[in-house]
Amino acid sequence: MTRALITGITGQDGSYLAEYLLSKGYEVHGVIRRASTFNTGRIDHIYTDPHSPGARFFLHYGDLSDAGQLTDLIYNVKPDEIYHLGAQSHVRVSFDTPEFTGDITGIGTTRLLEAIRRSGIRTRYYQASSSELFGASPPPQSETTPFRPRSPYAAAKLYAYWMTVNYREGYNLFACNGILFNHESPRRGETFVTRKVTRALANILTGKQKRLYLGNIDAKRDWGFAPEYVEMMWLMLRQDEPDDYAVGTGESHSVREMVDTAFAYAGIGLEWKGEGAEEKAVVSSLARHPSTCLKPGDTVIEIDPRYFRPTEVNHLRADISKAKERLRWEPRVTFDELTKTMVDYDLRMAGIEAPCEGIEACRSKGFLYTDHTYSLYERIREGE
Ligand code: NAP
Ligand code: F7E
């Protein structure tokens, strides 16, 4: 049985990847941090008692700041594949915590790579690199585009990227960088912009929230569907030779377009008025009359400069020629379907009937190993 170790298993990608590998018959080990509150909501639904016969899912305490524990873990688990997804992954937060981000996202990677080297095991290694590496380089961005990072997060990931290349070349480690563009899902962390929008939309419809405050709505991103991207991580480790791959959809949209798409799907037309930090969105139409809390003319979105970043990445759009050619990969879920899926789930979690066009589209595209959102915690919150 193939054995995988995942750092960051409690995160969006880690949880989907764990489900995907379990569905392929793997034994999956995950590193979790001790916290005073539960942080396993995204994986509770796949947890099994490790004592039960045939158990294939195991969790271990550890932290990317603790080299000794990482070395012990790798030596004892002896994974065939390691997926390094753990990181302080929030770009805006990295400006507030640059040193911590460098320690966990940057040096944490070196601790893990050193743990692999010192333990002497043969394994295949996936590094969660990011399109943030491209920063100020104009789109489209590919594996050969110069890296011009624009945040402490991106600078830390750049260091981790090169350490991965270094261990591949210096120690013959089968190590791949997946340079992944933004990928989202109903499990996306609640302070990343897409999920912030879809949750706020549901809250506005139930009257729990009056307004959504955003930062730079003109920034453009190449947003894809997270479960597809974890399949790519696995695929990279299946190749004969280790290499680096950019993974995205090849399409980009502004934050403003994402907001318009999400609100329109829930039956709310928006009109944008004003400019810069004074810009706001008011309700122009209510097609499905979904809420008694809203009426045309209500302001639902305002700009809060607190969400601006000291240095912004204006435009990311992937050139995925290499992944298409070498991995024979094409993205399946469109921006429209992704946005609808996230709205569907957040509406359902708020107790509102959802159109379910997004959920249907994803189901029909074969993501059979996951139901995307239904962690036990969310089910409990939904009262199911
Ligand atoms: P995420 O939801 O923020 O998950 C991050 C994971 O890292 C969580 O499991 C977190 O644990 C863990 N972690 C944080 N600090 C840690 C520490 N000191 N020790 C051990 N674990 C720690 O991120 P994601 O969206 O799934 O992304 C996965 C990886 O891909 C990250 O490295 C991210 O930077 C990278 N990436 C993401 C995207 C994207 O669009 N999602 C694109 C490119 C690259 P807790 O749950 O305990 O906080
Ligand atoms: O911001 C703008 C913001 O925080 C996207 C991480 O997974 O993807 C992610 O990083 C854009 C930025 O993601 C708000 O300024 C406007 O231009 O959702 P985000 P990110 O910074 O692109 C990359 C690939 C990673 O590797 C990272 O780990 O949206 N924006 N208003 C806002 N962003 C947030 N968070 N909140 C706002 O209110």
For the chain, the distance separating the N- and C-terminal CA atoms, rounded to the nearest angstrom, is 35
Residues 288-308: pLDDT tens digits? 655 678 999 999 999 999 999
Contacts of the segment 16-21: beta carbons below 8 A, 24+ positions apart: 16/185, 16/187, 16/226, 16/227, 16/230, 16/370, 17/83, 17/85, 17/230, 17/233, 17/234, 18/43, 18/46, 18/57, 19/46, 19/369, 19/370, 20/227, 20/230, 20/231, 20/234, 20/369, 20/370, 21/234
> Which residue type sits at 199?
R
For residue 80, give every residue at least 6 positions away whose Cβ sits within 8 Å of its Cβ, in sequence order, or none. 2, 3, 4, 123, 124
Q: Which helix (H) or strand (E) holds 261?
A: helix 255-265
Annotation marks residue 357 as catalytic: no
pLDDT in the model for residue 372 = 59
Residues 122-159: pLDDT tens digits? 999 999 999 999 999 999 999 999 999 999 999 999 99
Token digits of residue 35:
């916290």
Counting from 1 in the atom list of ligand 2, the atom nearest the Cα of 314 is 17
**How far apart are the C-alpha atoms of 171 and 169, rounded to whole Å?**
6
Tokens 């989202």 appear where? 184
State the pLDDT confidence band at 2, using cuts at 50, 70 and 90.
Answer: very high
Establish whether residue 8 lines the binding site of ligand 1, counting it when its CB lies within 6 angstroms of any ligand atom. yes
Residues 65-111: pLDDT tens digits? 999 999 999 999 999 999 999 999 999 999 999 999 999 999 999 99
Establish whether residue 13 lines the binding site of ligand 1, counting it when its CB lies within 6 angstroms of any ligand atom. yes
Counting from 1 in the atom list of ligand 2, the atom nearest the Cα of 195 is 18
State the pLDDT confidence band at 337, using cuts at 50, 70 and 90.
Answer: very high
Establish whether residue 255 lines the binding site of ligand 2, counting it when its CB lies within 6 angstroms of any ligand atom. yes
Residues 194-222: pLDDT tens digits? 999 999 999 999 999 999 999 999 999 99
In this prediction the pTM is 0.96
Token digits of residue 249:
């959809």
pLDDT in the model for residue 373 = 58
Annotation marks residue 130 as catalytic: yes
pLDDT in the model for residue 381 = 44
Side-chain half-sphere of 297: how many Cα atoms within 13 Å?
1
**How far apart are the C-alpha atoms of 250 and 40, rounded to whole Å?**
33
